[in-house]
Amino acid sequence: MKKNVVLLLLSLLFDILSVSAQEQRPPNIIVIISDDAGYGDFSVQGSKQFHTPHIDYLANSGIRFLQGYVTESVCSPSRAGLLTGRYQQRFGHEYNIGSHQPSDCPDYIGMRTDQITLADALHTLGYHTGAIGKWHLGSLDKYHPLNRGFDEFFGFRGGGAHYFGQGQKYFNIERQMDTVRVPVDYLTDAFGNEACRYIERNREKPFFLYLAFNAVHTPMEAREDDLAPFAYITEKQRRILGGMTKALDRAVGNVLQTLQDNHLTGNTLVWFINDNGGNTGLNGACNAPLNGKKGTLLEGGIRVPFFVRWPAGLPRHTTYDKPVSSMDIFATSVAAAGGDAQKIVDSLAQARFPAEWARVEKRKRPRAGEGWQLDGVNLIPYLKGTKEGSPHPRLCWRRAAVAAIRDGDWKLIRMPDRPPLLYNISEDMSEQHDLFREEKDTAERLMKELFEWEKLLAHPAWRTDPFWIQYNIKLYDKKYDLTQPEGEER
């Protein structure tokens, strides 16, 4: 016990010294993304089976969002919303890449090139920018990270990858735009180690690191030594998930340790978020106590583990209970760096796309799919308590045949094959009591608000395969486990 207290005090001292040494410099910014992790699969989120001390430390030493949402329940659209600070449906990025119809034109399958990214915006403020891990925002060169504001890239362009190099001696990973052969260890470790090297190389200047792990996305592959603590778990997929989660936590811990070793902890803004809800069944994830899974607009599909830490600029050791969105990472990060996100986006759009900018300005009110209006907000005043109210009185979602809106405590899901589903989230976060018949006036109001939001959206740039539409609708008929699996004594 005394040892733990001493370590904690030393950690706090290092943070204080780090803040003092760097208080004149804009903060470094790191966005860490996990992939398909369950809402309840980190111990800070209540897991009884998976012990994640490093992720827990990041969450507990910063701010843990109790109602953190992403903009979509599948990988690619969610990442597009995060990196642009906008509803990705505004620019046609509504469906996933990889499940699109084969008849779609590949030239349009990617994050639209007239969109301004967080890396673009931070570049204007003097940041060096790096992307590591999973991209999944377009496979053509025009969609490549190096053409979207990033100075460095180490990772893969698609939506998934094997963790052991498919039995080969090397991974085929891109460094910049060249495929390189990386000796096989374990892909999660490789990305974590590369992130540590990136931090060390750039420690003398402000940097932005987008660290997008593919863990714990399928295929289910874990190191033998990581599997050992979970031998007692009889369900194979969940046992492997435990090992993959352990590796993810280790990689996050190495990144945090590298920041501390380089005296960067205090003035580094670190975000941690999952890209969508856990993929229960396919990877054995647990979203308890939320209903639903990846692919649905139930809470289990869009409500995720979401934390932020910046010792020099934000409160510590606390939680925030108002709804926030992954879109907010853009505006908040730019504000922390000393910029105005909307002004920077407008300036870049005007310089890069003058003809389109002039058309939009002439009309005053952009048509659906036009303009560069940010939907995310700067959370700093809310987190510091200098601004009251909710950052998002209303949040919306749409993909294929299903759409949803959350307004205050009310959430409505519009279905194609049945009446809408209506829940009071503050009283029923597990979405077990559909109140549509009892609250038809509320449902009608939310349907109208949802339609008004949809007027802002572009037509999808590509279409998802009909199989996925049918599959996702069927997911609403499933019964999900709302309790944590039993753990063992640690």
What are the phi and psi torsion angles at 395 (to 5°)? -130, 145
Are the CB atoms for 369 and 458 separated by under 8 Å?
A: yes
Is 14's pLDDT higher than 80?
no
Can you read off the two tokens belonging to residue 337? 């760096």
Burial letters 86-118, b for 16+ CB under 10 A, else e: bbbbbbbbbbbbbbbeeebeeeebbbbeebbbb
Is 19's pLDDT higher than 80?
no
In angstroms, the Cα distances linking 319 to 60, 121, 146, 222, 309 are 9, 28, 36, 32, 11
d(CA 333, CA 271): 9
Stretch 56-73: mean pLDDT, rounded? 98
Are the CB atoms for 169 and 163 separated by under 8 Å?
A: no
Concatenating the DSSP letter of every residue in 33-89 gives EESS--TT-SGGGT-SS---HHHHHHHHTSEEETTEE-S-SSHHHHHHHHHHTS-GG
Query: Which pLDDT score, from 0 to 100, does residue 17 have?
Result: 55
| Lowest mean per-residue pLDDT among 72-76, 78-82, 166-170, 430-434 | 166-170
Q: Is residue 470 included in any domain, yes or no?
A: yes
Q: Is residue 473 included in any domain, yes or no?
A: yes
Q: Is residue 271 included in any domain, yes or no?
A: yes
| Chain segment 272-326, per-residue pLDDT in tens | 999 999 999 899 999 999 999 999 999 999 999 999 999 999 999 999 999 999 9
Is 56's pLDDT higher than 70?
yes
Query: Which pLDDT score, from 0 to 100, does residue 8 have?
Result: 46
Helices (H), 262-353: 299-302, 328-336, 341-352
Query: Which pLDDT score, from 0 to 100, does residue 346 have?
Result: 97
pLDDT band at 15 (very low <50, low <70, confident <90, very high): low
Q: How many domains does the chain have?
A: 1
Is 228's pLDDT higher than 70?
yes
Tell me the pTM. 0.94
Q: Is residue 202 included in any domain, yes or no?
A: yes
Q: Is residue 292 included in any domain, yes or no?
A: yes
**DSSP reduced 3-state for 245:** helix
Stretch 342-351: mean pLDDT, rounded? 97
E strands, 285-401, in order: 306-309, 318-320, 324-325, 394-399
DSSP strand pairing (318-320 vs 63-65): parallel
Stretch 94-101: mean pLDDT, rounded? 93
CATH of the domain at 221: 3.40.720.10
d(CA 285, CA 39): 8
Stretch 150-176: mean pLDDT, rounded? 90
Q: Say what percent of the chain tops pLDDT 90.
A: 87
d(CA 452, CA 231): 52
Task: Name the residue range of residue 341's domain.
Answer: 26-393+462-477
Taking the CB of residue 318, how many other CB atoms lie within 10 A of it? 12
Q: Is residue 47 included in any domain, yes or no?
A: yes
| DSSP-based helix, strand, coil % in the chain, nearest 5 | 35, 15, 45
**Mean pLDDT of all residues in the chain?**
94
Is 347's pLDDT higher than 50?
yes
**DSSP reduced 3-state for 332:** helix
Query: Which pLDDT score, from 0 to 100, does residue 1 have?
Result: 47
Q: Is residue 438 included in any domain, yes or no?
A: no
Q: Is residue 280 included in any domain, yes or no?
A: yes
